[in-house]
Structure 1
Amino acid sequence: MMSLKPRHVNFEETWSKLRETISGVVSLRAVERAVWNSRFSDVYALCVAHPEPMADKLYDETKSFLEEHVSGMLQRVKGSTPLESSDYNDGLLSRYVTAWREYSQGVQYLNSLYSYLNLQHVKRHKVSEAEVIYGSSAHTPEVEKLNRQLEVGELGLVIWERVLVQPLSEALTSRIISGLNAARELNHDSTTADILRTSIHSTVDVQSYRVRSALELYQELVVEPYLVAATAHHCALAAKLLDSGDVSNFVRHVLDGLEREIALGNKYLHSSSSEAVRACYEQACIEAHLPALHAEVDRLIKEAAEDNPRAEERRADLKRMFALLKPLGSNALRPLVEAAHAQATREGRAMLAAEHSKDEAHTHFVYSMLSLHGKYKRLFNDVFCGAQAFVGALDKACSTVVNSRTEGEHFARAPELLSRYCDALLRRKGSERDADEKLSAAIVVFKYIDDKDVFQKHYARALARRLIHQLSASMEQEEAMINRLKAACGYEFTNKLHRMFTDVAVSADLNAKFQQYLRDNDLCTNIGFTIQVLQAGAWPLGGAMAPLAPPPQLEKPARLFETFYRSSFSGRRLAWLHHLCTGELRTKYTQRSYHINATTPQCALLLMFDTVDTVRAREAQETLQLSEEAWTRHVRPLLEVNLITAEGDIEGDGELTLNLGFTCKRTKIRLTCAAAPPTPGNQTVTPSSDSTHCEDDRKMYLQAALVRIMKQRKVLRHTELIQEVVSQARGSFAPSVAMIKKCIEALIDKQYLERTPGKHDTYSYLA
Structure 2
Amino acid sequence: MFINAIVNGKEVRAMLDTRASHNFNIEDEVKLLGLKIANSGASLKAVNSPAKPIVDIAKVGILLPSAYIPLLATTPHTILAGNKVLPSLRVKHDEFMLRELVKRWLNHKVMVRWLSRFFHYLDRYFITRRSLPPLNEVGLTRFHDLVYQEVKSKVKDAVISLIDREREGEQIDRALLKNVLDIFVEIGLGNMKCYEDDFETHLLKDTAAYYSRKASNWILEDSCPDYMLKAEECLKREKDRVAHYLHSSSEQKLLEKVQHELLFVYASQLLEKEHSGCHALLRDDKVNDLSRMYRLFCRIQRGLDPVSQIFKQHVTIEGTALVKQAEDAASNRKAEKRDVVGLQEQVFVRKVIELHDKYLAYVNDCFQNHSLFHKALKEAFEVFCNKGVAGSSSAELLATFCDNILKKGGSEKLSDEAIEETLEKVVKLLAYISDKDLFAEFYRKKLARRLLFDKSANDDHERSILTKLKQQCGGQFTSKMEGMVTDLTLARENQSSFEDYLNSNFHANPGIDLTVTVLTTGFWPSYKSFDLNLPVEMVKCVEVFREFYQTKTKHRKLTWIYSLGTCNINGKFEPKTIELIVTTYQAAALLLFNASDRLSYSEIMTQLNLTDDDVIRLLHSLSCAKYKILNKEPSTKTILSTDVFEFNSKFTDKMRRIKIPLPPVDEKKKVIEDVDKDRRYAIDASIVRIMKSRKILGHQQLVMECVEQLGRMFKPDFKAIKKRIEDLITRDYLERDKDNPNLFRYLA
TM over 0.5: yes
Match of 2:527 among 522, 539, 542: 542
Match of 1:446 among 420, 430, 444: 430
Match of 1:293 among 253, 256, 270: 270
> Paired residue for 2:466?
482
Code of the residue aligned with 1:77 in structure 2: it is V
> Paired residue for 2:20?
5
> Paired residue for 1:61?
68
> Paired residue for 1:79?
87
Match of 2:654 among 660, 665, 670: 665
Cα pair 1:754 1:765 within 8 Å, conserved: yes
Instruction: Mark the CA change 1:235 to 1:673 in structure 2 (over 3 Å): closer, same or farther.
Output: same
> Paired residue for 2:148?
165
Cα pair 1:399 1:448 within 8 Å, conserved: yes
Query: How far apart, in 1, do the equivalents of 2:225 and 2:287 lie?
Result: 11
For residue 597 of structure 1, give the secondary structure of its aligned residue in structure 2.
strand
Tell me, yes or no, if structure 1 residue 107 matches structure 2 residue 112.
yes
> Paired residue for 2:408?
428
Task: Choose 5-14 or 115-124, whichever is displaced more.
Answer: 115-124
For residue 585 of structure 1, give the secondary structure of its aligned residue in structure 2.
strand
Query: How far apart, in 2, do the equivalents of 1:31 and 1:15 lie?
Result: 16
Cα pair 2:448 2:484 within 8 Å, conserved: yes
Task: Choose 663-672 or 605-614, whichever is displaced more.
Answer: 605-614
Query: How far apart, in 2, do the equivalents of 1:124 and 1:756 lie?
Result: 85
Match of 2:395 among 404, 415, 423: 415
Query: How far apart, in 1, do the equivalents of 2:682 and 2:601 lie?
Result: 49
Cα pair 2:698 2:743 within 8 Å, conserved: yes
Tell me, yes or no, if structure 1 residue 195 matches structure 2 residue 176.
yes
For residue 558 of structure 2, give the secondary structure of its aligned residue in structure 1.
coil
Tell me, yes or no, if structure 1 residue 696 matches structure 2 residue 671.
no
Task: Choose 95-104 or 69-78, whichever is displaced more.
Answer: 69-78
Code of the residue aligned with 2:341 in structure 1: it is D
For residue 512 of structure 1, give the secondary structure of its aligned residue in structure 2.
helix
Cα pair 2:570 2:578 within 8 Å, conserved: yes
Query: How far apart, in 2, do the equivalents of 1:95 and 1:229 lie?
Result: 25
Query: How far apart, in 1, do the equivalents of 2:305 and 2:527 lie?
Result: 51
Instruction: Mark the CA change 1:113 to 1:736 in structure 2 (over 3 Å): closer, same or farther.
Output: farther
Q: CA deviation at 1:541?
A: 2.4
Q: CA deviation at 1:80?
A: 5.4
Match of 1:732 among 713, 731, 741: 713
> Paired residue for 1:139?
none
Cα pair 1:71 1:163 within 8 Å, conserved: no
> Paired residue for 2:345?
362
Match of 1:88 among 85, 90, 94: 94
Instruction: Mark the CA change 1:299 to 1:67 in structure 2 (over 3 Å): closer, same or farther.
Output: farther
Code of the residue aligned with 1:339 in structure 2: it is I
Cα pair 1:497 1:538 within 8 Å, conserved: yes
Q: Which has the larger helix fraction?
A: 1
Q: CA deviation at 1:741?
A: 5.1
Query: How far apart, in 2, do the equivalents of 1:548 and 1:743 lie?
Result: 38
Q: CA deviation at 1:70?
A: 5.9
> Paired residue for 1:514?
498
Query: How far apart, in 2, do the equivalents of 1:317 and 1:207 lie?
Result: 44
Q: CA deviation at 1:662?
A: 2.9
Q: CA deviation at 1:293?
A: 1.5
Q: Deviations over 1:421-476 (max 9, x none)?
A: 11122213455514333323221222211110010111111112222222222222
> Paired residue for 2:103?
98
Instruction: Mark the CA change 1:77 to 1:344 in structure 2 (over 3 Å): closer, same or farther.
Output: same
Query: How far apart, in 2, do the equivalents of 1:66 and 1:659 lie?
Result: 140
Q: Deviations over 1:218-270 (max 9, x none)?
A: 11221112122222221221222234264443332232222222222332211
Task: Choose 289-298 or 393-402, whichever is displaced more.
Answer: 289-298
Query: How far apart, in 1, do the equivalents of 2:720 and 2:71 lie?
Result: 88
Tell me, yes or no, if structure 1 residue 644 matches structure 2 residue 630.
yes
> Paired residue for 1:45?
none
Q: CA deviation at 1:418?
A: 0.7
Code of the residue aligned with 1:530 in structure 2: it is T
> Paired residue for 2:517?
532
Cα pair 1:326 1:333 within 8 Å, conserved: yes
Cα pair 2:274 2:280 within 8 Å, conserved: no
Task: Choose 463-472 or 482-491, whichever is displaced more.
Answer: 463-472
- Number of equivalent positions: 696
Query: How far apart, in 1, do the equivalents of 2:415 and 2:174 lie?
Result: 69
Instruction: Mark the CA change 1:13 to 1:124 in structure 2 (over 3 Å): closer, same or farther.
Output: closer
Cα pair 2:680 2:724 within 8 Å, conserved: yes
Task: Choose 612-621 or 487-496, whichever is displaced more.
Answer: 612-621
Query: How far apart, in 1, do the equivalents of 2:580 and 2:162 lie?
Result: 97
Instruction: Mark the CA change 1:79 to 1:170 in structure 2 (over 3 Å): closer, same or farther.
Output: same
Q: Deviations over 1:529-548 (max 9, x none)?
A: 11122222222123422x21
Q: Aligned runs of 1:24-35 on 2, under 5 Å? A: 31-33=46-48
- Unaligned 5+ residue runs, structure 1? 40-56, 126-147, 677-683
For residue 327 of structure 1, give the secondary structure of its aligned residue in structure 2.
coil
Output the TM-score relative to the length of structure 1: 0.81
Code of the residue aligned with 2:308 in structure 1: it is V
Q: CA deviation at 1:302?
A: 3.7
Instruction: Mark the CA change 1:527 to 1:237 in structure 2 (over 3 Å): closer, same or farther.
Output: same
> Paired residue for 1:129?
none
> Paired residue for 1:142?
none
Code of the residue aligned with 1:88 in structure 2: it is D
Cα pair 2:65 2:138 within 8 Å, conserved: no
Query: How far apart, in 2, do the equivalents of 1:299 and 1:417 lie?
Result: 37
Q: Deviations over 1:169-226 (max 9, x none)?
A: 222222222222223234545xx332221111111112234xxxx1111112211121
- Unaligned 5+ residue runs, structure 2? 2-16, 55-63, 334-339
> Paired residue for 1:184?
167
Cα pair 1:422 1:439 within 8 Å, conserved: yes
Query: How far apart, in 1, do the equivalents of 2:74 and 2:736 lie?
Result: 85
Code of the residue aligned with 2:185 in structure 1: it is V
Query: How far apart, in 1, do the equivalents of 2:41 and 2:493 lie?
Result: 108
Query: How far apart, in 2, do the equivalents of 1:20 and 1:427 lie?
Result: 112
> Paired residue for 1:144?
none
Cα pair 2:631 2:648 within 8 Å, conserved: yes
Q: Aligned runs of 1:260-299 on 2, under 5 Å? A: 260-296=237-273
Cα pair 2:734 2:745 within 8 Å, conserved: yes
Q: Aligned runs of 1:594-743 on 2, under 5 Å? A: 594-610=578-594, 619-639=603-623, 640=625, 641-647=627-633, 656-675=645-664, 685-687=667-669, 690-711=671-692, 725-736=706-717, 739-740=720-721, 742-743=723-724
Q: CA deviation at 1:699?
A: 2.9
> Paired residue for 2:369?
386
Code of the residue aligned with 2:395 in structure 1: it is P
> In angstroms, what is the RMSD of aligned CA positions?
3.7
Instruction: Mark the CA change 1:606 to 1:243 in structure 2 (over 3 Å): closer, same or farther.
Output: closer
Instruction: Mark the CA change 1:173 to 1:751 in structure 2 (over 3 Å): closer, same or farther.
Output: same
Code of the residue aligned with 2:319 in structure 1: it is G
Instruction: Mark the CA change 1:647 to 1:197 in structure 2 (over 3 Å): closer, same or farther.
Output: closer
Cα pair 1:617 1:654 within 8 Å, conserved: yes
Q: CA deviation at 1:737?
A: 5.0
Instruction: Mark the CA change 1:647 to 1:333 in structure 2 (over 3 Å): closer, same or farther.
Output: closer
Query: How far apart, in 1, do the equivalents of 2:744 and 2:42 lie?
Result: 88
Query: How far apart, in 1, do the equivalents of 2:42 and 2:543 lie?
Result: 125
Tell me, yes or no, if structure 1 residue 320 matches structure 2 residue 292.
yes
Cα pair 1:381 1:387 within 8 Å, conserved: yes
Query: How far apart, in 2, do the equivalents of 1:169 and 1:521 lie?
Result: 114
Code of the residue aligned with 1:294 in structure 2: it is L
Instruction: Mark the CA change 1:657 to 1:625 in structure 2 (over 3 Å): closer, same or farther.
Output: same
Instruction: Mark the CA change 1:618 to 1:728 in structure 2 (over 3 Å): closer, same or farther.
Output: closer
